[in-house]
Chains A and B, each alone.
Chain A
Amino acid sequence: MIPAERPGAPVSHDLTTDEYARFCDFFYQKTGISFNEKKAYFVKRRLQERMGARAATSFRDYFSMLRFDLNGVELQQLVNLLTVNETYFLREDYQFDALVDGILPEIARDRRPGSTIRIWSMPCSTGEEPYSIAIHILEKWRQSDDYAIEISGSDIDSAVLAQARKGRYSERSLHRVSPQLRRKYFRPLGADFQICDELRESIDFFSINIVDRVAMSGMRAVDVAFCRNLLIYFDDTSRREAVELLYESMAPGGFICLGHSESMSRMSSLFLPRKIAGTIVHQKPLRP
């Protein structure tokens, strides 16, 4: 069993190259995220922090705790420390334009009014992406009242999901949001901004690891998935695996939007590239 947490200072145990490599291997197997030598300082610092908190006297002790920690609490702590969560409102919003100008109208064409359209922000980090999607749809899609639009946000990092559910953001996070939208969807809270309850209560946030096949099988029939700025942290093998599982989660004819520096090449040939409102998105064929 892992000893109780102590608010410890980082211990000064320095990891050997071999220990570092073993840790990276383990973390990669669990999350798909691969660290190279350049990241060694960043990773080692965080590992030392956790070793201090768990009062582990050596890397060996800590590593065996980590591997035999059946409920995954310690791994979750590490995931929360080691993931890059940078995000902000209206990031790469040309894709949200493509969503309301092309993707949603195309999906709606074959769907009866009143039926569900399912959108998934995966990964969503602290929630700015799914909230931006919601705002964009409410503001710019004229048919938004005709459909039941279900927006979910997921991430592997439990701490960012807690923040997303809370919906409290700093000025920095809102730098691309106009004063008019701020007034409409946020209320000031000290120096920060609180997202309005209507949005907060309509988005479902849940934790998921994109390379976990069983967990991913819980999400099906997704019409539009935003999978942006995650695959850049993966190597080719985990990218392939992630896209393979995402494919399964998509409804036939569903669309995936990737980040601007990400493409499907060498990940999957299963999706059809489509140019919609000037941006490339990836569509699951209606029939395999």
Chain B
Amino acid sequence: MLVKRAASAEPAAADFDEPQAIRDLDAADPALRRHAAQTLRGRPDAVDALCRRLAVETERDVRAALLSNLIGQKSTHIADLLTSIFDKGGAALRNEVMEALWAMPAESIEKMQTMLASPNAKARLLAVNVLSEIPHSHAVDLLEQVLLKESDVNICLAAVDGLTHSDDFRSVGRLTQFAARFPHVEQAQFVVRSLLRGFGDTR
């Protein structure tokens, strides 16, 4: 049986208290934390608190609200904050940070360049993964540099993966240079051999 919805009163915006909303990010009730993350949209003064919360938040739906707030505000400062927390949690947080950085390519790219020089291999891998999804020729240049300079072969392989999915990648030469740097790593030889065979003469 079809019934008509009873019209409800128009919801009104509650008075907004930013310091209280920031405190609510750490409330015991997840619904309150999620609500706080949503009401703090477009508030640049709250981004430090939002990122701090993201690093320790255990509820998926609260993390999602925090992330969409941060992505909505995108800035180089947020990209910095996100990269500072990416390894503070588990794989889920790492993936979410990566997704957020993809969503703000212009704000992230410079930070990724700095991270490629980090002594922390996890940070370099994150940078490669982020750059792999940024459709920009500068990102391709940076990934090509990874093939020439990076000492960790697995990070190089991640860069190869990113490059071969990019429309801008034209340099077969970089692949052979990479293979030559790791003559005894069978996986590197295999990947490059099969890619070169796949490309044929088209590149």
Contacts and interface: CB of A to CB of B under 8 A. Distances in A.
Interface in B10-33: 10-13, 30
B7 interface: yes
Contacts of B65: 244
Contacts of B13: 214
Interface of B: 1-5, 7-13, 30, 38-39, 41, 59-61, 64-65, 67-68, 71-72, 74, 99, 102-103
A116 interface: yes
A76 B87 CA distance: 46
Given A150-B4, A236-B103, 13 more contacts: A116-B3, A148-B1, A151-B5, A152-B5, A199-B2, A213-B39, A215-B11, A240-B72, A240-B103, A244-B64, A247-B64, A270-B60, A288-B30
Contacts of B9: 218
B72 A151 contact: no
The number of chain A residues touching the other chain, given as a range, is 35 or more
B103 A206 contact: no
A144, A237, A247 pick with most chain B CB within 10 angstroms: A237
B2 A204 contact: no
Interface in A181-239: 198-199, 201-204, 206, 213-215, 217-218, 236-237
A101 interface: no
Nearest to A288: B61
B58 to A, nearest CB: 11
A134 B8 CA distance: 22
Interface string A20-64: 000000000000000000000000000000000000000000000
Q: Which of A134, A202, A244 has the most CB of B within 10 A?
A: A244
Nearest to A240: B68
Given A214-B13, A236-B103, A244 B1 contact: no
A137 B2 CA distance: 9
Contact of A244 (B2, B12, B38): B38
B68 A202 contact: no
Given A144-B1, A204-B5, A244 B11 contact: no
A44 B156 CA distance: 48
Given A149-B3, A202-B2, A237-B71, A218 B10 contact: yes
11 contacts: A138-B2, A148-B1, A150-B3, A204-B4, A214-B12, A217-B11, A237-B72, A244-B65, A269-B64, A270-B64, A288-B60
A205 to B, nearest CB: 10
Contacts of B7: 204, 206
A279 interface: no
A262 B2 CA distance: 29
A266 interface: yes
A253 B68 CA distance: 22
Contacts of B67: 240
A68 interface: no
Contacts of A198: 2
Contact of B61 (A144, A204, A236, A270): A270
Nearest to B35: A248
A145 interface: yes
A288 B63 CA distance: 11
A56 to B, nearest CB: 28
Contacts of B30: 288
Contacts of B11: 214-215, 217-218
Contacts of B10: 215, 218
Interface string A98-140: 0000000000000000001010000000000000001001100
Interface string A243-286: 01101100000000000000000101110000000000000000
A147 interface: yes
Task: Enumerate the 10 nearest inter-chain pairs by beta-carbon distance, A residue then B residue, closest first.
Answer: A202-B2, A204-B5, A218-B11, A240-B68, A288-B61, A148-B3, A214-B13, A150-B5, A217-B11, A244-B68
Contacts of A203: 2, 4
Nearest to A29: B42
Contact of B1 (A149, A240, A288): A149
A198 B103 CA distance: 46
Contacts of A201: 4
Given A151-B2, A204-B7, A215-B11, A241 B68 contact: yes
A73 to B, nearest CB: 17
Contacts of B2: 134, 137-138, 149-151, 198-199, 202-203
A241 B74 CA distance: 13
Contacts of A150: 2-5
